[in-house]
């Protein structure tokens, strides 16, 4: 079983460079004929603010013929507070959840593949205290109770930087409280990997027999002076192979995929004009 993993495509008609990169990546992915596509979120530039971008992204994704699953990112759905009481400028709301589901399908899901149970979660719900967050936790508990054999988890945000005891409150990671609850639920499962996007960096981190994998963006990198370098800053995607109870992930960083710098693309994000003068994040 071969699964193409894509993340942070940031597709929109107005984002010419990012969408052009997607078309290059899509041709390369299609040539490899994967059995399944999983998108790790930030499908759009700002689908949360403009659902018309959902349609634009769906049109672009039609370049792939394999079945497709996706989890939402902050640009698709809005963001969650990094700690209780934190202000969020673009929060997750029930209408935004409904718009995502209408365009891309369920925001959390489970599927069986090559003896693995694959679970996708909506990381943007964690810490929101919405009814949908409680419902997702209840659903996950039931899904894990039925799990047999190896399990893999997919979500937009990494669980942490270096380990479950990290106490940094940062929009890059799942908030500490919901993360602890999530890890408690996963403790009794044969968890093999956790795969996320969001950071625009490729990274492998092995902890207690679980591989934590960060997917790069197909669209752009974020320069070091505004984002800490933790993994490898290159555009690309990855191929996950599941076979005989084992998994293998191979990153793809093709030379034909332009290494766009976020700060050169204010057609997509006008606010980057101010970021050119900003410090590290």
Q: What is the mean pLDDT of each run of 10 residues along the chain (281 residues)?
A: 98 97 98 98 97 97 97 98 94 98 97 96 98 98 89 98 93 97 95 98 97 98 95 98 97 97 92 68 49
pLDDT computed for residue 188 by the predictor: 86
pLDDT computed for residue 92 by the predictor: 98
Per the listing, tokens 């974020």 go with: 222
The closest alpha carbon to 259, from 227, 230, 226, 216, belongs to: 216
pLDDT computed for residue 30 by the predictor: 98
pLDDT computed for residue 136 by the predictor: 98
The full set of domains in the chain, from first to last, is 2-274 (3.60.21.10)
pLDDT computed for residue 132 by the predictor: 98
CA Rg value for the chain: 17
Question: pTM for the complete prediction?
Answer: 0.96
* Other Cβ atoms within 10 Å of 248 Cβ, number: 10
Q: Are strands 151-154 and 191-196 parallel, antiparallel or unpaired?
A: parallel
3-state secondary structure of 207: strand
Alpha-helical regions (H) of 151-207: 176-186
The closest alpha carbon to 93, from 105, 103, 80, 102, belongs to: 80
Burial of 59 (0-12, 13-18, 19+ CB in 10 A): exposed
pLDDT computed for residue 206 by the predictor: 98
pLDDT computed for residue 185 by the predictor: 96
């Amino acid at each position: 079983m071969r699964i193409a993993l894509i993340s942070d495509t940031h597709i929109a008609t107005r984002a010419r460079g990012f969408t052009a990169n997607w078309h290059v990546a899509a041709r390369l992915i299609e040539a490899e004929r994967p059995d399944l596509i999983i998108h790790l979120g930030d499908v759009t530039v700002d689908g949360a603010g403009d659902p018309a971008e959902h349609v634009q992204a769906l049109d672009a994704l039609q370049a792939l013929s394999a079945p497709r699953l996706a989890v939402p990112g902050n640009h698709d759905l809005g963001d969650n507070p990094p700690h209780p009481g934190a202000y969020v400028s673009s929060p997750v709301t029930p209408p935004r959840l409904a718009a995502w589901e209408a365009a891309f399908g369920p925001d959390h899901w489970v599927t069986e593949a090559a003896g693995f149970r694959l679970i996708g979660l909506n990381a943007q719900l964690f810490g929101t205290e919405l009814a949908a967050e409680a419902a997702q936790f209840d659903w996950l508990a039931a899904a894990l109770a039925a799990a047999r054999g190896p399990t893999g988890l997919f979500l937009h945000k990494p669980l942490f930087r270096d380990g479950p005891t990290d106490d940094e409150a940062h929009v890059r990671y799942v908030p500490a409280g919901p993360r602890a609850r999530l890890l408690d639920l996963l403790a009794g499962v044969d968890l093999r990997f956790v795969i996320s996007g969001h950071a625009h960096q490729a990274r492998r981190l092995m902890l207690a027999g679980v591989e934590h994998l960060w997917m790069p963006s197909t669209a752009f990198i974020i320069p070091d002076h505004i984002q800490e370098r933790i993994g490898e800053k290159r555009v690309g995607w990855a191929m996950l192979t599941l076979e005989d109870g084992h998994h293998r992930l191979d990153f793809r960083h093709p030379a034909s995929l332009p290494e766009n710098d976020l700060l050169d693309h204010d057609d997509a994000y006008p606010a980057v004009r101010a970021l050119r003068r900003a410090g590290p994040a």
